[in-house]
Amino acid sequence: MDNSTLLNEVIAKAQTWLDGNYNEEAKSDIRRMMDAEDKTELIESFYRDLEFGTGGLRGIMGAGTNRMNIYTVGAATQGLSNYLISQFPDVPQISVVIGHDCRNNSRLFAEVSANIFSANGIKVYLFEDLRPTPEASFAIRYLGCQSGIILTASHNPKEYNGYKAYWNDGAQMIAPHDTNVIDEVMKIKVDDIKFEGRPELIHIIGEEIDKAFIEAIKTLSLSPEAIKRNSDLKIVYTPIHGTGVKLIPRALKEYGFTNIINVPEQDVVSGNFPTVVSPNPEEPAALDMAVKKAIETNADIVMASDPDADRLGIAIKNDKGEWILVNGNQTALLFVYYLITRWKELGRLQGNEYIVKTIVTTEIIKDIADKNGVEMYDCFTGFKWIAAVIRENEGLKKYIGGGEESYGFLPEDFCRDKDAVSSCTLMAEITAWAKDNGKTLYELLQDIYLEYGYGKEKGISVVRKGKSGAEEIAKIMSDYRTTPPVEIAGSKVKVIKDYKTLKMKNVATGEESDLDFPATSNVLQYFTEDGTKISVRPSGTEPKIKFYIEVRGEMKSRAEYDAADAAANAKVEAVRASMGV
């Protein structure tokens, strides 16, 4: 399609909004874009419809079919309402939970959704104010609801917002419900949306759920005596302007920790995230202020949650007294190692326990599970897949924990999404337990590498925005499939896994076998003879293609850590060069 054809189609689409049943605010914004000499914003706003995908909606806020606004949110909610009514005909009163984060328009979108659900005869439990995403997941289960939604764009930049839909187990939807809801949403026209709510069906919730959630989290403690002996542990915590401020300091205190050090500037709730460029705990700059506070107070650990408090980033001191950031793979390693170690010490391992990780997360987790006789499941990226494994094993096996490299972990099954609230309390407990055993967290991490082998991971995101960017990302994936690498950084590729076709190929023999996964996913993985693993996938929520690199090395003493790390860094750079990223 040439540019003039695309522009004509976009203008025609925008005109339907000017002629249709949309409010004056939206129409005024559209007129501004249509009158502008540069039509880029108009094209980006209308060149496609913002898709209600298997993870819900996520996009830049504004007027247009490709934007987050009350109409795209409204269509999603009306479609979900229609589906719920069709799926639960025998439930006397269908009910849903609505939660939201700190983002601009999140409360507006939550209230609009509450009105639409109630207009369709669905009872709504609407949180009184912003709350962590995992608490909303918990509330769906606690209140016995059939569904729920969260208004959040997680760690995306401030221009974004999002809409995540959950099923009655508190997990994000998977087949068949995800695609069925998508089908319902695609049928909705603006005149189908029931915006006029029924106030008698909207019930405001807050403290009752907060208390129940924290009480449940307190049952996770495995080392209460270590906490008592180290209750004054110096913990610097920042919510990065988000929902964690509502619950995490309180949870830490009720868990037994008395010395929570705030970062006052970042306790300010704001969808503009004024102290950071990006509210993402994966980004070093997002933790700068917290680390500065830790230096000032000689803290033991720094913890940060993202705006909807489902992901945790931490910083610790190394053996030189320098503050360093711990990546998501290392955080997951600490959690899994601690949980399995303590379960074993407490006699809880009976032979039917399991852990879960995503396919792009470090393979050392599997080594830990295997050595301790704990079953490990691999699943696709995204916590809905971890929740799906929990659902499949409900009543049959015992879940210990599960996580992913992107800073998400879930150490419980009373919630079904990644949870920074419980993760913060558990990470504080791990710090206290390590201290009780004469170790820092840094030394504990080194000891894990000593026992299971050194590993280094590097995530690289290549951003390609807009229509042209989406096309470029699609071509990159196509090129890798048609012309896969033969060797990477001097090591031959021995196995290729393609999760789009669910095939695994032994490169040496040419033999193919099936991958046992419940669905397909646009992910490629390459495994080389020297233990390197490279995963490539387009992001499902952001305009980028992601590369995940994991290399392995040797380490025989703590003193060799720096040398092992340097060698791994050199190998990572060689892999990057081989992959052209």
pLDDT tens-digit readout, 425-476: 999 999 999 999 999 999 999 999 999 999 999 989 988 888 788 888 999 9
Q: Report the run of H or E that residue 325 belongs to, with start and end.
A: strand 323-326
Residue 1 pLDDT > 60, yes or no? no
Residue 188 pLDDT > 90, yes or no? yes
Instruction: Give the per-residue pLDDT at 421.
Output: 98
Instruction: Give the per-residue pLDDT at 148.
Output: 98
Instruction: Give the per-residue pLDDT at 468.
Output: 82
Active site residue 270: no
Mean predicted lDDT score pLDDT of the chain: 95
Other C-beta atoms closer than 10 Å to the C-beta of 572 total 19
What is the share, in percent, of the chain residues with pLDDT greater than 90?
92
Question: Is residue 242 within 8 Å of residue 270, measured between CB atoms?
Answer: no
Closest by CA position to 124, among listed 201, 209, 207: 201
Instruction: Give the per-residue pLDDT at 304.
Output: 98
Distance separating alpha carbons of residues 152 and 149, to the nearest angstrom = 9
Closest by CA position to 169, among listed 397, 395, 334: 395
Distance separating alpha carbons of residues 51 and 76, to the nearest angstrom = 10
For domain 48-205, the CATH architecture is 3-Layer(aba) Sandwich (3.40)
Residue 423 pLDDT > 60, yes or no? yes
Instruction: Give the per-residue pLDDT at 56.
Output: 86
Question: Is residue 46 within 8 Å of residue 65, measured between CB atoms?
Answer: yes
Instruction: Give the per-residue pLDDT at 29.
Output: 95
Name the pLDDT band for 541 (thresholds 50, 70, 90).
Answer: low
Instruction: Give the per-residue pLDDT at 2.
Output: 61
Instruction: Give the per-residue pLDDT at 269.
Output: 97
Question: Is residue 104 within 8 Å of residue 271, measured between CB atoms?
Answer: yes
Encode pLDDT of 476-499 as tens digits. 999 999 999 999 999 999 999 999
As given in the structure block, the two tokens for residue 57 are 């909606």
What is the share, in percent, of the chain residues with pLDDT greater than 70?
99
Q: Which residues sit opposite 314 in a β-bridge?
A: 303, 326
Q: Which of 118, 137, 147, 154 is catalytic?
A: 154
Closest by CA position to 312, among listed 254, 235, 221: 235
Phi, psi of 229 (to 5 degrees): -75, -20
Give the list of residues 6+ apart from residue 324 with CB closer than 8 angstroms, or none: 315, 316, 317, 318, 442
One fold for 48-205 and 213-452: yes
Report the pLDDT averaged over residues 284-306. 97
The residue written with tokens 């099923």 in the block is 167
Instruction: Give the per-residue pLDDT at 568.
Output: 95
Q: What is the DSSP letter of 50?
A: P
Domain 213-452 has CATH 3.40.640.10: no
Closest by CA position to 568, among listed 453, 442, 452: 453
Phi, psi of 336 (to 5 degrees): -65, -45
Longest dimension (CA), the chain: 72
454-579 CATH, one of 2.30.30, 1.10.10, 3.40.50, 3.30.310? 3.30.310
Name the pLDDT band for 539 (thresholds 50, 70, 90).
Answer: confident
Q: Report the run of H or E that residue 123 belongs to, with start and end.
A: strand 123-127
Give the residue extent of every domain in the chain: 48-205, 213-452, 454-579
Name the pLDDT band for 580 (thresholds 50, 70, 90).
Answer: confident
